[in-house]
Amino acid sequence: MTETWTPHGPAIAVYPYVDESGVVLFEVCRTADKQFPQRRPDPTAKSGYTWNLDGVRRVPYRLPQLLKGVATGRGICAVEGERDVLSLEALGLVATTNPGGAGKWRSEFSPHFKGATVYILPDNDVVGRKHAEQVAQMLFGVAKEIRVVPLPGLKEHGDVSDWLASGGTPDALKKLVHETPKWEPAPEPDARPQPTGAPILRKRRAPTTRRDPLPIEAAKAVPIDVVVERLGLLILRRGRVVRTHCPFHDDHRPSLDLDLRKGVWFCQVCQVGGDGIELVMRKKGLSFADAVREVAA
């Protein structure tokens, strides 16, 4: 096998991310020292690739398999790396992950999980547990059911591939899933003053009456410039260039680009972007479901 060159050394694995019809959108390369450079097909480049994802649509890993699994009622395992996805697929399970690692789940991934049963398998460390919580929050109200399933016996920083290598089996995983309660957001503390020494009262969750279905399509149909203006940001237009001041850093010169045709934004300084839902989530600190409802309103 010919080695794949990357800016961070030879790749020991290459993971293609494809669209619904199997067309490669971009690839994540893994080096021996766990660097994960990303590249996109570029017919104008000598190598056939450019080492950035500028303007590229982001999708979950193994998207066609994910969509088929959701459509047929299969449980979907959400993990923290492409290697883990392939480990689970080798056992006949449906699994996916997001590019970029922990903390990089994007709002545009969530609609692919509409009506799905999702099992989030976190890596055994603080970052992994925080990532699992983020994914659960962003899928709540979209997926039919969510369970965050810690794997027993893992060493610090261990993942599902390590768990399987140490003797974990599909039957054992199935048992763990059924023993794990469904995930729901934690209730907020009661803000009323409490007498000294009194137990802390917490708001009771009302019986679950989800406001389904979420108006995802309506939210995605709202033009990105409309979303930006609703957030009180001034839009500057110079020919084809449409920009605004980024609300996530001290932006004296507008650096947040808007693509009106695709309905997305990208900050050249922060190197983050997304759609209108993602912008509202980040700006207002909302969950995916609440941001969808706000944008669609």
CATH number at residue 260: 3.90.580.10
- Is 184 domain-assigned? no
- Is 41 domain-assigned? yes
Q: Which residues span the domain enclosing 228?
A: 216-296
Looking at residue 182, its pLDDT comes to 96
Please indicate, yes or no, whether residues 92 and 27 belong to a single structural domain of this protein.
Answer: no
Looking at residue 178, its pLDDT comes to 95
Looking at residue 144, its pLDDT comes to 95
- Is 187 domain-assigned? no
Please indicate, yes or no, whether residues 101 and 167 belong to a single structural domain of this protein.
Answer: yes
Please indicate, yes or no, whether residues 45 and 70 belong to a single structural domain of this protein.
Answer: no
Domain boundary, last residue among 153, 179, 205: 179
Ramachandran quadrant class, 254 (left: phi over 0; alpha: psi -120 to 50; beta: rest): beta
Please indicate, yes or no, whether residues 71 and 166 belong to a single structural domain of this protein.
Answer: yes
- Is 234 domain-assigned? yes
**Number of domains, the chain:** 3
Over residues 184-202, the mean pLDDT reads 63
Whole-number mean pLDDT of the chain?
A: 90
Please indicate, yes or no, whether residues 252 and 164 belong to a single structural domain of this protein.
Answer: no
Domain boundary, last residue among 151, 179, 207: 179
Please indicate, yes or no, whether residues 119 and 163 belong to a single structural domain of this protein.
Answer: yes
CATH number at residue 169: 3.40.1360.10
Please indicate, yes or no, whether residues 114 and 29 belong to a single structural domain of this protein.
Answer: no
**Residue 164 pLDDT exceeds 70:** yes
Higher pLDDT, 237 or 29: 29
Domain boundary, last residue among 157, 179, 201: 179
Please indicate, yes or no, whether residues 151 and 233 belong to a single structural domain of this protein.
Answer: no
**Residue 193 pLDDT exceeds 70:** no
- Is 192 domain-assigned? no
